[in-house]
Amino acid sequence: MIQNWYIIFVAALVPMVMGFVWYNPKVIGTIWMAETGMTEEKSEKTHMPLVFGLSYLFSCMIAVALLVFTIHQIHVFSVFEGQAGLGVDGSDLMNKITNFLGDDIHNFRTFKHGAFHGTLAGVLLALPILATNAMFEAKGFKYIAVNAGYWIISLALMGGIVCQWA
């Protein structure tokens, strides 16, 4: 089903690259700094190798989750979880699954479809989580818009990548 697991590591680069662009002072960075209270002095005290390393690890976790959101055929296998022969080529169960999926095993495996589901994840998961935290932290609309926008776009791109090439 998943042919290219390495694509998880590629997709996990998207939030890093997006962050360099999105949070650049010439794009949204100055707004973000004002809304968060971030200063150059604070950022210099940050242990950036740790931040980038953990950010990449978390992005890998998100990319794996997006496999489930974007590739519908994965769910067929969960129906048969725990049954003898699952994952064994030539077993009666795998033949049954292969026959069921037939030519449809690659349906909806496009960048566009994955980007759609990634956008849904951004709007229906990331936005409410960020907005809830922001409200309790007494942050304003700009704070929510800047961070949610970043994640909606990042998740759309990641979803497209994992759906098309995983």
Q: Is the pLDDT of residue 164 over 80?
A: yes
**Inside any domain, residue 140:** yes
Domain that holds residue 158: 7-72+108-165
Q: Is 85 part of any domain?
A: no
Asked if residue 37 is part of any domain, the answer here is: yes
Which residues neighbour 5 within 8 Å (Cβ) at sequence distance 6 or greater? Answer: 166
> How far is it, in rounded angstroms, from Cα 154 to Cα 161?
11
Q: Does any domain span residue 28?
A: yes
Say how far apart CA 87 and CA 96 lie, in whole Å. Answer: 12
Q: Give the pLDDT of residue 74.
A: 84
What's the pLDDT tens digit per position in 113-146?
999 999 999 999 999 999 999 999 999 999 999 9
Answer whether residue 16 is part of any domain: yes
CA distance 32 to 55: 18
CA distances from 95 to 32, 99, 112 (A): 53, 6, 30
Does the residue 2 lie in any domain? no
Taking 70 as the threshold, does the pLDDT of residue 1 lie above it?
no
What tokens were used for 45?
Answer: 């005290």
Count of domains forming the chain: 1
Question: pTM of the prediction?
Answer: 0.88
In terms of Cα–Cα distance, which of 82, 80, 112, 108 is closest to 94? 80
Q: What angle do helix axes 48-70 and 141-165 make, rounded to 10 degrees? A: 60
64: pLDDT strictly greater than 70: yes
User: HSE on the CB side for 108, CA within 13 Å?
Assistant: 15
Q: What does the alpha-carbon distance between residue 111 and residue 40 come to, in Å, rounded to a whole number? A: 38
What does the pLDDT read at residue 103?
74
Terminal-to-terminal C-alpha distance of the chain: 9
pLDDT digits (tens, 9 = 90+) for 84-117: 999 899 999 999 888 888 877 778 899 999 999 9
**Tens of pLDDT, residues 153-163:** 999 999 999 99
User: Tell me: the pLDDT tens digits for 2-60?
Assistant: 779 999 999 999 999 999 999 999 999 999 999 999 988 988 889 999 999 999 999 99
